[in-house]
């Protein structure tokens, strides 16, 4: 396989960790291990500083920011740095939404194929939509391919249903080794079960769209424990809500989990994982892959996003309406009261994970798509295609343009 130069473009990168950043990091490191030369362009997390260094085989270029508006880092040097890096790339992969990156692409000459992954919709910054949608429409019209992790990203994504011929389905993936148990995590799992008994588990940012206030309210009718791991702007309010409902003996806040063994233990010893999000700002939920990899059932909400189709309702997960603590408590009690059924659902979830969501499948899907686009670009420009640049075989059922999939149906 040829050693193609790939430019990944994102808002932030490791050690900053949210859904988009975690996917970008996993993809970049996986591509580097597959033999590609990967550079990531992103913003620094702090003002007035910059950084260029190698992280796990990936060249990471972080440009200085002067502030943040509506979740968008303001980086005055970004367009010039992007233009320079783009000239050296064989393919550019932009992770969106990212208005500054999209504008920089439109302003710079196009030297190579450009793909975009549509991670989520712009939900919380609605006042920006009249300005952002025209930019996004121009941007999507000019890119070569749009990668989506679920079919619902097209059904509910702004503008994507009108560009189905450009869309390719490549689900996000997770390295199964990150959830492997060992003697330390097994000891921690026993300690957690001894202290909390059967418990439900949530991990993520404590933000309003996560719907944790409805999960806490649901726990009033559940006679088991809930562990909430993570931190964020809603933590103080949520702790006050727990005190208001007098649930301090049932709802436990663990804060950010930095110990990998504790991370594994929390998943493996729980009865179920809960993702009670209330808006399409939750557009996939990597917590679902972690749960399935640990053979745990998932309770999630019926959002107009990719969340409900990551699992298989009734087999690997239970789906309840958002903002409905009564039905959420019913789902929690069902899995607590039926441990054999919960275990069966977890087993089915693990099989679905192996079939669809491993890191290997995600990397193979991207390498196959990249190779196809780079070869076609070189042919279009009359350049010789190197014979060592072979396309990695990939199951057509897992990597298929959505319009072709619809015709086949």
State pLDDT tens for residues 323-338: 999 999 999 999 999 9
Q: CA–CA separation, 47 vs 37, rounded Å?
A: 28
Q: Choose the weakest-confidence range: 106-115, 231-240, 295-304, 398-407.
A: 398-407
Q: CA–CA separation, 149 vs 371, rounded Å?
A: 19
- In angstroms, the Cα distances linking 289 to 171, 219, 380 are 11, 24, 39
User: Which residues have C-beta within 8 Å of that of residue 280, sequence separation ≥ 6?
Assistant: 120, 121, 123, 156, 303, 304, 305
**Which residue, of 323, 338, 356, is where some domain finishes?**
356
Q: How confident is the model over 336-366, as pLDDT tens digits?
A: 999 999 999 999 999 999 999 999 999 999 9
Domain count for the chain, please give it. 2
Say which DSSP state 383 is in.
P
Q: How confident is the model over 131-171, as pLDDT tens digits?
A: 667 878 888 899 999 999 999 999 887 778 778 889 999 99
* Residues 139, 271 within the same domain: no
User: What CATH number does residue 397 fall under?
Assistant: 3.40.50.2000
* Residues 240, 299 within the same domain: yes
Q: CA–CA separation, 405 vs 409, rounded Å?
A: 6
**Which residue, of 356, 378, 397, is where some domain finishes?**
356
* Residues 119, 31 within the same domain: yes
Q: How confident is the model over 169-183, as pLDDT tens digits?
A: 999 999 999 999 999
Q: Quick one: average pLDDT of 28-34?
A: 95
* Residues 24, 144 within the same domain: yes
Straight-line distance from the first to the last Cα atom of the chain, in angstroms, rounded to the nearest whole number: 33
* Residues 352, 242 within the same domain: yes
* Residues 363, 348 within the same domain: no
**Three-state secondary-structure class, residue 241:** helix
SS (H, E, C) 310-377: HCCECCCEEEECCCCHHHHHHHHHHHHHCHHHHHHHHHHHHHHHHHHCEHHHHHHHHHHHHHHHHHHH
* Residues 319, 379 within the same domain: no
* Residues 376, 314 within the same domain: no
Q: CA–CA separation, 394 vs 369, rounded Å?
A: 10
Q: List the domain range (segments joined by +) for residue 133.
A: 5-173+358-408
Q: Choose the weakest-confidence range: 73-82, 153-162, 370-379.
A: 153-162
E strand intervals along 76-151: 91-96, 114-118, 145-148
């Amino acid at each position: 396989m040829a050693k193609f130069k790939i430019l990944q473009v994102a808002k932030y990168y490791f050690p900053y960790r949210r859904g988009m950043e975690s996917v970008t990091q996993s993809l970049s490191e996986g591509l580097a291990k597959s033999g590609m030369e990967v550079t990531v362009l992103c913003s620094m997390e702090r003002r007035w500083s910059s950084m260029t260094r190698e992280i796990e085989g990936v060249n990471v270029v972080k440009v200085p920011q002067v502030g943040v508006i509506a979740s968008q880092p303001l980086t005055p040097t970004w367009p010039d740095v992007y233009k320079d890096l783009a000239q050296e790339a064989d393919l550019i992969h932009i992770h969106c939404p990212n208005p500054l990156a999209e504008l920089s692409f439109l302003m710079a000459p196009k030297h190579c194929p450009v793909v975009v992954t549509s991670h989520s919709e712009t939900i919380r910054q609605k006042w920006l939509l009249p300005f952002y949608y025209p930019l996004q429409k121009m941007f999507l019209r000019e890119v070569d391919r749009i990668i989506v992790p679920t079919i619902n990203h097209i059904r509910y994504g702004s503008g994507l249903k009108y560009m189905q011929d450009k869309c390719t389905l490549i689900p996000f993936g997770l390295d199964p080794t990150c959830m492997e148990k060992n003697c330390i995590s097994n000891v921690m799992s026993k300690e957690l079960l001894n202290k909390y008994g059967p418990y439900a588990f949530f991990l993520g940012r404590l933000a309003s769209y996560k719907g944790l206030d409805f999960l806490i309210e649901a726990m009033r009718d559940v006679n088991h424990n809930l562990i909430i791991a993570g931190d964020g702007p809603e933590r103080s309010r949520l702790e006050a809500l727990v005190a208001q409902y007098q649930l301090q003996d049932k709802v436990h806040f663990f804060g950010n989990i930095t110990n990998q063994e504790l991370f594994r233990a929390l998943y493996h010893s729980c009865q179920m994982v809960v993702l009670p999000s209330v808006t399409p700002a939750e557009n996939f939920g990597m917590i679902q892959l972690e749960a399935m990899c640990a053979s745990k059932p998932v309770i999630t909400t019926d959002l107009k996003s990719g969340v409900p189709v990551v699992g298989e309702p009734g087999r690997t997960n239970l789906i309840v309406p958002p903002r409905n603590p009564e039905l959420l408590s019913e789902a929690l009690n069902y899995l607590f009261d039926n441990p054999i059924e919960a275990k069966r659902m977890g087993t089915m979830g693990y099989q679905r994970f192996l079939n669809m969501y491993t890191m290997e499948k995600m990397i193979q899907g991207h390498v196959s798509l990249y190779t196809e686009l780079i070869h076609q670009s070189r042919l279009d420009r009359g350049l010789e295609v190197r014979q060592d640049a072979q396309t990695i075989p990939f199951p057509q059922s897992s990597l298929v343009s959505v319009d072709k999939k619809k015709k086949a149906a």
